[in-house]
A and B are shown apart, each in its own frame.
Chain A
């Protein structure tokens, strides 16, 4: 590692010796122009939902628009249709309370709920064998059809990656028009989390003769329940 300090010094010295600007300087660029990059892209609430749905469906995502009271019913039918027997969840979320309540009331409708409670070193097998995971989201982006996730100790990073099916719950009121709007409104730059993610569909590849195939390394199916 000794070489690193010397390299650091040499690299910085060389860069600092360079004066002047790019030949075609864009000195007339102002901060303001960066700000105007997504101007005009602000949609009313209803349109944001529809746009997100359309964009996500175009990349193989199942999007269900639900009412605050009907989403459990939608979830149950998704779970049944996909024959999910075991589902990973974060036991301390508001979502978990709803699921727990339902499990008590009508146990036949909800599969076995499994908490991601131990660190990955002890949970690896569990994660690689489970059918599905259900998580909350921090928000959505209408322009590109993306979910915003900031994984937490209760809903760790691998939940949205390893299980073949990922079910995500999104409040319509948390959908922003653009990525930039989301990061500015929530002042992300003041404190970024360990990991922040945008997820726009199930994993995909086109590396074999440009043929689009879903479900390469990450989840094979992404289901989004939008709560209006």
Chain B
């Protein structure tokens, strides 16, 4: 459930869960180190991400044209293209395709758009078995959990927890301790599913407009299974995923795998351009592409917010986020956690529902420094915060929210007055240095801070006084 209260509650309980914090800290430090090792040349990184940014920005600028070009090339190649404005429409399209082919079971490779759609849940409701085939996604699906990271969905669990899960919930119900043995069990179970599945579903990492090619990046091979073995393949993509030329792919691929997991490249890079042709012996006979909006055109309409759509879903921003590392992915209760989630979710779900997520940042900017396509995440956060406060002005006067917003307005007005008037500023500094340390811990407002931290000690002399004593000249 999305609410400030729930978020605070969940963050608090995550902070008090040493196991969870340990799992995340270990994983995030590992990922940061691996990334650093493959971007050892700072100059190369800056050059490469400049290129990455430009390729994505170029695509966004030409978005309507490129989407039409992609559609027409896909059609030419035999891939059927559908458009959906909402997740409900996208789910309905998948269901109609499934029904058309009398499908009873679906296997799915990792796809964040399918998470936006909550596709598994939807299909199960309509009597179609929907199975995750990525190992991490499979583990959490069996345990009825949600992903806590966009690249490593089961990162919140440690080996012992996963071993327990296999023992209790996966045939043949044996207890094995090593990751190798657990992987072997999953391989067996999922191969049977690939063998039987009527439909394979996948995401799309890049869609190339000039050739009508869908590109998939993965290590496990489940993506290749889902897109090759079942007779029908449905690819799901957000409308921002298109790039103009095939040549745009290598730099983005390099940025993606290195930023995500510190790999020079993943095991498989899978480029799909058509269904099975006459004479070919495998591959799906029908390939469908569903392109989803779900708030993206709205983001596209604003020059700053549009930069949210540059994202290539590498997850580096969450790996480097001090907030994410401490509270973990689940506290956010959203499809996309961490910094990218804080700017994506409020725009997808609406500021009135998820705007509070924009507050869950110290604006330290670590995410901005590592982002491979240079999304100005902190600027967008600030924009959303402002927007949220402005929107509150439209609430009814009697609503407590309005009063809170009014009080916040008043505080900022006061701050503005003091900081723009030298006399007032001096008076404030004097007050704090002389009286600041006498304020009690339990004072309203201050106690929000002191309830979990020690009270700050104010210096006896302020910066101006110290500078004067040191005879520092004005800069």
Number of interface residues, chain B, beta carbon within 8 A: 104
Contact partner of B85 (CB less than 8 A), chosen from A11, A120, A158, A178, is A11
Q: Scoring B residues 148 to 178 as 1 if CB is less than 8 Å from chain A, else 0, what string do you get?
A: 0000111101110010000000000000000
Summed over the interface, the residue pairs from A and B with CB atoms below 8 Å come to a total of 262
Contacting B at CB under 8 A, from A1-25, are: 1, 3-5, 7-8, 10-12, 14-18, 20-25
Contact call A210/B27, Cβ cutoff below 8 A: yes
Q: What are 21 of the A-B contact pairs (CB < 8 Å)?
A: A4-B89, A7-B83, A7-B293, A22-B307, A29-B50, A143-B264, A153-B281, A156-B281, A179-B250, A183-B246, A183-B249, A200-B266, A201-B267, A203-B268, A210-B30, A211-B159, A213-B179, A215-B187, A216-B135, A216-B221, A217-B191
Nearest-CB residue, chain B, relative to A183: B246
Q: Is A69 among interface residues, defined by CB-CB distance under 8 A?
A: no
Q: Does any Cβ of A come within 8 Å of B270's Cβ? A: yes
- Across the A-B interface, give the 9 residue pairs with the lowest CB-CB distance, nearest first: A218-B221, A29-B54, A207-B136, A217-B221, A211-B179, A198-B269, A144-B265, A203-B221, A8-B83
Which of A156-177 touch B at CB < 8 Å?
156-158, 161
In the complex, besides A128-B191, A203-B268, 18 extra interface pairs with C-beta distance below 8 angstroms are A5-B83, A15-B67, A21-B61, A23-B304, A34-B247, A118-B281, A123-B281, A144-B264, A158-B228, A189-B210, A192-B271, A195-B270, A195-B273, A196-B271, A206-B152, A209-B159, A213-B179, A216-B135
Cβ-closest chain A residue relative to B273: A192
In the complex, what residues of B have CB within 8 A of residue A140's CB? none
Bound together, the chains give a CA A161 to CA B283 distance in angstroms of 12
Q: Within the complex, which residue of A120, A158, A205, A209 is in contact with B162, where a contact is CB–CB below 8 Å?
A: A209
List residues of B (363-391) whose CB comes within 8 Å of A's CBs. 374, 376
B125 to chain A, nearest CB (A): 19
Contact partner, A200, options B27, B154, B225, B265, Cβ 8 Å: B265
What is the CA–CA distance of A197 and B268 in the complex, to the nearest angstrom?
7
Question: In angstroms, how far is the closest chain B Cβ from the Cβ of A121?
Answer: 8
A4 to B292, CA, bound (A): 10
**Are the CB atoms of A23 and B279 closer together than 8 Å?**
no
Residues in A with CB closer than 8 Å to B416 are none
Complex interface: chain B residues within 8 A of A157 (CB): 224, 228, 282-283
Knowing A22-B306, A195-B271, A203-B220 are in contact, say whether A4-B83 is a contact too (CB < 8 A). Answer: yes
Interface size class of A (residues with CB under 8 A): 35 or more
- With an 8 A cutoff between CB atoms, is B55 at the interface? yes
B281 in complex: contacting residue of A10, A120, A188, CB < 8 Å? A120
Name the distance in Å between B242's Cβ and chain A's nearest Cβ: 11
Cα distance, A178 to B300, chains bound together (Å): 34
- Which of B27, B51, B96, B273 is A193 in contact with, Cβ under 8 Å? B273
Complex Cα gap A144–B339 (Å) = 30
Check A26/B229 contact, CB under 8 A, given A34-B247, A208-B179: no
Complex interface: chain A residues within 8 A of B239 (CB): 11
A213 to chain B, nearest CB (A): 4
Residue B251 at the A interface, CB < 8 A?
A: yes
A216:B183 contact, CB within 8 angstroms: yes
Query: Given A7-B83, A200-B266, A216-B221, are A37 and B251 neighbors across the interface (CB < 8 Å)?
Result: yes
Bound complex: CA A119 to CA B26 (Å): 47
A205 near B183: Cβ-Cβ < 8 Å = yes
Select which of A18, A34, A146 is within 8 A of B51 by beta carbon.
Answer: A34
Closest residue of chain A to B304 (Cβ to Cβ) is: A23
A116 at the binding interface (Cβ < 8 Å): yes
User: Which chain A positions have C-beta within 8 A of B297?
Assistant: 11, 14-15, 18
Among candidates B266, B282, B293, residue contacting A156 with C-beta atoms closer than 8 Å: B282
23-42 of chain A: CB within 8 A of chain B: 23-26, 29, 33-34, 37-38
Chain A stretch 92-124: residues in CB contact (< 8 A) with chain B: 116-120, 123-124
Is A15 in contact with B64, judged by CB distance below 8 angstroms?
yes
Instruction: Indicate if the CB atoms of A195 and B220 lie closer than 8 Å.
Output: no
Interface membership of chain A positions 119-136, coded 1 if the CB is closer than 8 angstroms to chain B and 0 otherwise: 110011000100000000
B residues 43-73 in Cβ contact with A at 8 Å: 47-48, 50-51, 53-55, 57-58, 60-61, 63-64, 67-68
Chain B contact surface mostly: helix
For B419, the chain A residues whose CB sits under 8 A away are none
- Check A194/B83 contact, CB under 8 A, given A18-B300, A144-B265: no
A134 to chain B, nearest CB (A): 16
Does any Cβ of A come within 8 Å of B274's Cβ? yes
| Cross-chain contact of B211 among A119, A192, A195 (Cβ < 8 A) | A192
Specify which chain B residues have a CB less than 8 angstroms from the CB of A202 in the assembled complex.
Answer: 267
Q: How far is the CB of B9 from chain A (nearest CB, A)?
A: 27
> How many angstroms between the C-alpha atoms of A100 and B83 in the bound complex?
50
Chain B residues within 8 Å of A153, by CB: 279-281
Give 1 or 0 for each of B241-276: 1 = CB within 8 Å of chain A CB. Answer: 000011111110100000001001111111111111
In the bound complex, CA of A148 to CA of B179 (Å): 30
In Å, the complex CA distance between A120 and B228 comes to 10
Check B85–A10 contact: CB distance below 8 A.
yes
Q: How far is the CA of A21 from the CA of B306 in the complex (A)?
A: 9
Closest A residue to B88 using CB positions: A3
Query: Is the Cβ of A37 less than 8 Å from the Cβ of B51?
Result: yes
Q: Which residues of chain B have C-beta atoms less than 8 A from A64's C-beta?
A: none
Say yes or no for B93: interface residue by CB 8 A criterion. Answer: yes
Chain B nearest CB from A148 CB (Å) reads: 10
List the A residue with the shortest CB-CB distance to B68. A12
Say whether B265 contacts A198, CB under 8 Å.
yes
- Cβ B276 vs Cβ A194 within 8 A: yes
Question: A65 at the A/B interface (Cβ < 8 Å)?
Answer: no
Nearest CB in chain B to that of A141: its residue:
B265
Give every chain A residue within 8 A of B229 (Cβ-Cβ).
120, 158
Whether B303 is near chain A, meaning CB under 8 Å from some CB there, is: yes
Q: Which of A25, A161, A200, A204 contacts B228 (CB 8 A)?
A: A161
Residues in A neighbouring B182, C-beta threshold 8 A: 208
- Whether B225 and A24, one on each chain, are in contact in the complex, defined by CB atoms closer than 8 angstroms, is no
B93: contacting residue among A1, A25, A200, A217, CB under 8 A? A1
- Whether A215 contacts B183 by the Cβ 8 Å rule is yes
* Residue A199 at the chain B interface, CB threshold 8 Å: yes
User: Does any Cβ of A come within 8 Å of B237's Cβ?
Assistant: no
Q: Find chain A residues with CB under 8 A from B276 CB.
A: 194
Known: A158-B282, A193-B273, A194-B283. A124 touches B195 (CB 8 A): yes
- With A208-B183, A213-B180 as contacts: A23 and B154 at CB distance below 8 Å: no
- Once bound together, how far apart are the Cα atoms of A20 and B179, in whole Å? 51
